[in-house]
Amino acid sequence: MTDQPKQVGGGRKTLGDFAPKLADLTDDVLFADVWNRTELPARDRSLITVAVLATGEDTDQLRFHLGRAIENGLTQDELIEAITHVAFYAGWPKGMAAMGVAKELFAPE
């Protein structure tokens, strides 16, 4: 699985001057290490991440990770289907909130 794009975090860019330790951990541990492990491709990691964020109603992070999921090879249709599936296991309001974020990002203007 070495042909997948290297995953890079944006912790230092977004929080480096305000919360440098969290920024370092985000970039150096979460992205440089965990996201780039070869046991799962980035596409699968993105699908898992989107599902988990949808179940937790973490809509700000979901917004970022839906875009990352597209970069990692998932399609809009696959992401919409994943959120639909999650709605029945995590709860309807969580699924609807996640789908609202997806619609903001994917729906044509």
pTM of the model: 0.85
Report residue 51 CA to chain centroid gap. 8
Residues 22, 56, single domain; the answer is: no
Residues 76, 97, single domain; the answer is: yes
Residues 89, 49, single domain; the answer is: yes
11, 22 contact by CB (below 8 A): yes
Residues 26, 52, single domain; the answer is: no
- For every one of its 109 residues, what pLDDT tens digit does the chain have, with 9 covering 90 and above? 456 666 667 778 787 789 889 998 988 998 888 988 999 999 999 999 999 999 999 999 999 999 999 999 999 999 999 999 999 999 999 999 999 999 999 997 6
Domain that holds residue 93: 41-109
Residues 60, 30, single domain; the answer is: no
